[in-house]
Amino acid sequence: MIIAMVTQKLVQHDGQGRVNSVIAAELLRRGHDVLVIASEVGPELRDHPRLHWTRVPHSGVPTQLLKDQLFAWRAGRLLRDRRDEIDLVVINGFVCWSPSDVNIVHFVHSAWIRSPAHPVRKRVGPVSLYHALYNLLNVAFERWSFRGARRIVAVSRTVRNELLAAGVPLGRISVIDNGVDAAEFTPGTPDGRTLGFAEGGPVALFVGDARTNRKNLDGVLHALASVPGLNLAIVGDAEGGPFPALVDRLGLGARVRFLGHRKDVAALMRAADLFVFPTRYEPFGLVLLEAAASGLPVITTRAAGASWLLDEQGAILLDDPESVGGIASALRTITDDPELRRTMAAAARRIAESHDWSVTAARYADLIESAIPLVSPPSQRPGARALSAG
């Protein structure tokens, strides 16, 4: 069978790209040919003899909205041109102007624009208005994409509920929770030097967008000011964002390190003592399972889709992301009790091991195979063209 997958990135260092990578790997393992329409494909899959990559070049247009539309137009054209070679099409949300058989939904823009954390509710200005326009247009694009899909997969129960609120019938939705590579993300020995601290003391790790408020890094920094003795390492691109200046205003320069965008997140997690991610809005949050697999006690909020998979033995689940006092109390609870850290670390690891990517990938492959037409698929029709990379 020939299965087409459309996604901008098929790489392991990107959340959505990681999901698509493990799905593609499982389909290849089962003997399918996989035609990938993407801008990037990771080296772990690029040279597989049954993976055929049709590259959509990165565009030089100035905004994400235009970049997304140019990719969607190019990908849709490529799919239409090669539809007689393909048995089934898998896409991700709205990513191309062509209907799909299976649509994997990682983010629902209609839910995000209703969220109290949306930038337009914080401040009205050119940037927030652009974000509002971007989201409103994507609401319409997603509705079109969802209507054309035979099956829709939500990556968490949170996303399922958002799809229901957007009018997608329950009978068309399957839930397949994201997973984690429990062999890559493993417990280690805390070492602040790996995270940029010469002095001793516990280190909390934050991994996420360090330029906007959605992940609530501002709440973490304000809470840190009232937890002496705890350091914070931040993984994420902070350039142009407000947080370095906030660190200076709060007098936290000696206790905070900005590490930038990193691909060695697994090694950094092994060096930390705990993980803090009190997000205001998160459809899933792969980093939460990765932290749990690394044996880190987790502080997050029930606004994270992955919080459904965690429990209070391995995580502190906050109800209110806006409560700086609640974040600070959780940080103090874990920081001040080494025995609690060890107990939570072991529980977090057990939780993560039950959600290994191998389980997730098998569920996706089963669903995709069940959606392949039973009669005369295109790749088996007389005169069908041989599959080749574009």
347 in the same domain as 216? yes
Residue 366: which of 375, 378, 358, 354 has the closest Cα? 358
CATH number at residue 252: 3.40.50.2000
Tokens of 176: 């397949």
360 in the same domain as 264? no
165 in the same domain as 67? yes
CA distance 235 to 239: 12
Report yes or no on whether pTM surpasses 0.85: yes
* Mean pLDDT, all residues of the chain: 93
Question: At 386, is the secondary structure helix, strand, or coil?
Answer: coil
151 in the same domain as 80? yes
| Contact call for residues 355 and 176 (beta carbons, < 8 A) | no
252 in the same domain as 342? yes
48 in the same domain as 169? yes
132 in the same domain as 10? yes
Return the pLDDT at 127. Answer: 80
Return the pLDDT at 291. Answer: 98
What average pLDDT does range 27-53 have in this prediction?
96
Residue 327 gets which letter from DSSP? H
Q: Is residue 88 a part of any domain in this protein?
A: yes
Statement: residue 379 has pLDDT above 70: no
pLDDT band at 181 (very low <50, low <70, confident <90, very high): very high
Return the pLDDT at 14. Answer: 84
Tokens of 297: 């006690």
324 vs 382: which has the higher pLDDT: 324
Q: Is residue 315 a part of any domain in this protein?
A: yes
209 in the same domain as 100? no
Looking at this protein, which amino acid is placed at residue 367? L
Helix (H) or strand (E) holding 207: strand 203-207
Range of the domain at 113: 2-179+356-380
Count of the separate structural domains present in the chain: 2
Looking at this protein, which amino acid is placed at residue 46? R
